Amino acid sequence: MKTTLHTFFIFSICLFFINTLYAAPKVIPAAPKILAKSYILIDYDSGKIIAHNNADMPVAPASITKVMTAYVVFSELEEGNISLKDMVTVSKKAWKTPGSRMFINVNTSVSIEDLLQGMIIQSGNDASVALAEHIAGGEDTFAALMNQHAQDLGMTNTHFMNSTGLPNSNHKTSARDLAILAKALIKHFPQYYKWYSTKEFTYNDIKQPNRNQLLWRDKSVDGMKTGYTDDAGYCLLSSAKREDMRLISVVLGTASTHARAQESQKLLNFGFRFYESHIVYPAHKVLKNIRVYKGSEEQVSVGIAKNLTILIPRGQYKNLKPSININSSLIAPITKGQPLGKVEIKLDDKLLNSSPLIALKAVDEGSLWQQAKDSVLMMME
């Protein structure tokens, strides 16, 4: 009996500590103090901001610029204008570009795939210029492409002057804009995003490590890009995924390579510890079948066009209150994609997110008999 009670006591103590360790926080504390000129932390799925400071302040992005350079190249690959196997002749300008390099030689031919890895992993300025010249004929024209993509993505505080991030007084972006860019690249080009987690790359018998220290410190981190100039300070755009949640962190203008990694890690740990994100309703899933009057069918399936995602304090998922609201009685004809109402997700009476409710299929007008019968039914209701 004593042994049984002793075992039960030990088990209860262990259970208490386990529950304490993993219990959902009752209060969300303020974000940790981040020693940087500007920063932002967002949830990838919902796009919601978890923490920020001076997120819209235009600043020099240094080599984080190359994320947009890569985005332009990936777009050209996607459109079939170029291929990874295409060979690029290295110009004297590309070869002489100062700063970090992958050490390509003038007048040699290098594949686009190698140049991309040299730019992404080794942060090669020479590779960036070579890619820009191959795609647009010159770096100025390529910068115009970069700015067009930035405008299309809604990067309102951004203007690029070159493909490298080398200092230029008119070359600016912001922490929020870089988070927007990172989210778009991960979403649209997952087949190429894998290169951002590569720890080292060898070209011309020269092996160079990825400068993102978090790739070695945190196994959940799988990208993205470092940057440094005297004007910009030490910068880091990072992304990490733990279980089904991905976060994007941008830290700009820290004092050292150690500081940019440390401050980024603080932000990521805070976000994962105190928040969780969920796709509450996936796109195009039937959420409900609604009565349709005067139609060839009596019901229409309704859903949403895009995933409905939310960011909530950890442990609050069970307290969510979803609701489906239909505009009014539905009368055929109904077209596919027609807005019919709204889906809302609330927590403690606070609206977290909403989405238009649409018809997932079309419903044509019914026969004259069906229309007459439904007219009577509608008058009786």
Catalytic residues, which ones?
Answer: 63, 66, 123
Residue 374, number of CB atoms within 10 A of its CB:
20
Beta-bridge mates of residue 26: none
Q: What DSSP string runs through 67-135? A: HHHHHHHHHHHHTTS--TT-EEEPPHHHHH--SS-----TT-EEEHHHHHHHHHTT--HHHHHHHHHHH
Partners of 89 in beta bridges: 109
- Helices and strands in the chain, H and E counts: 11, 17
Answer yes or no: are the C-beta atoms of 293 and 367 closer than 8 Å.
no
DSSP annotation string for 150-208: HHHHT-TT-B-S-SS----TT-BB-HHHHHHHHHHHHHH-HHHHGGGG--EEEETTEEE
